[in-house]
Amino acid sequence: MSGEPILRFEEVSKIYPLPAGDVVALDRVSLTVDPGEFIAVMGPSGSGKSTLLNMMGCLDVPTAGKIYLSGQEISQLNDDDLTRLRRDRIGFVFQQFNLIPLLSAVENVEFPLILTTDREESRRRAVEVMRAMNLNDALFTHRPGELSGGEQQRVAIARALVNDPDLLLCDEPTGNLDTKTGTAIMEILAEENREGKTVIMVTHDPNVAAYARRTIRIVDGRLA
């Protein structure tokens, strides 16, 4: 790995103007993430951890400050460019509403690839990743509603990994799962990290955060 950080925040602020007054979600946050890190972002609700994750994932742009993704400045990019970055270089796992109900499991996984690649190649790659997630082939054609919570989350992780992203971002990935299933999901993330993937996850569960090698704490929009 080169010395270049995969992600760098320089004095990043995010202010939401509201009728009742501006809300400062992030207040001059600076941080660096090196390739291969496994980071847990912790903090109370409303502390700004989701805003931080959204910005890391090119879902949002800062009000002030600069963000670099693998050396490329992204704070001023337009919606199309940000979307392209999400599609090609970011993998997202959310706590809930993770899968598109109209698509089968395998179609969900191939979705980001279908936008750029032909269908056969997308399918081949999706199947490969799903098998790596220990998902039974028989489940591939099931709709999300027919899968268990753990299976759904594994499908979601497969989808997040299908484009071989630089960054795997997880927002409370075990939030809706029982402990045993949650542990299995964390094992998968840890395994991905061991294989070199940079993983950043938001959690408020210390047991989950324990899988990470670094923990960033955030309170009232500032790193603590």
Partner 1 sequence: MFFIELAMRNLRRHKVRSVLATVGIIIGVVAIASLGIMGSSLSTLIGGMVSDVSDTVLVTPHLAASSGDPFDPRNTLTASISTRNVGLIEKAAGQHRVVPMIVASDRLRVRDTSGYVTIHAMPAADIPFLLEREAGLYPQGRSSGVMVGSLLADEFDLHPGSRIEVGGENIRVVGIAAERGMGIDINPDYAVIVTEDWYTERHGDQDYSRVVVKVSDLSAIEDVKAAIDQQINRRREVVDILDSREILEIYYETIDAMNIFLLGIGGVSLLVASVSILNVMIISVTERTAEIGLMRSIGARKREVLRMFLYESLILGILGSIIGGTISSVVAYYASASVGDLFADFAVSGEAAIPISVVIGYVAFAMAFGIGTSVVAGFYPSWKAAQLNPIEALRYE
- Shorter beta-carbon distance to partner 1: residue 115 or 210: 115
Please report, as residue ranges, which positions from 120 to 149 form the binding site for partner 1 (by CB under 8 A): none
Binder among 20, 79, 120, 145 for partner 1 (CB under 8 A): 79
The contacts found for 127-132 with CB under 8 angstroms, 24 or more apart, are: 129/158, 129/161, 129/162, 130/105, 130/106, 130/154, 130/155, 130/158, 132/158
DSSP state of 86: H
Rule CB under 8 A: say whether 19 interacts with partner 1: no
- Do 203 and 174 form a contact (C-beta atoms < 8 A)? yes
**Shortest Cβ distance from residue 164 to partner 1 (Å)?**
13
- Do 135 and 154 form a contact (C-beta atoms < 8 A)? yes
Tally of CB atoms within 10 A around 4: 11
**Shortest Cβ distance from residue 60 to partner 1 (Å)?**
6
Distance CA 12, CA 35 (A): 20
Tally of CB atoms within 10 A around 46: 13
Interface with partner 1 (CB under 8 A), residue total: 28
Binder among 54, 153, 174, 193 for partner 1 (CB under 8 A): 54
Binder among 115, 136, 178, 191 for partner 1 (CB under 8 A): 115
**Shortest Cβ distance from residue 110 to partner 1 (Å)?**
9
Task: State the residues that interact with partner 1 by CB under 8 A.
Answer: 54, 57, 59-60, 79-80, 83-84, 86-88, 92, 94, 97-103, 111-112, 114-115, 119, 159-160, 163
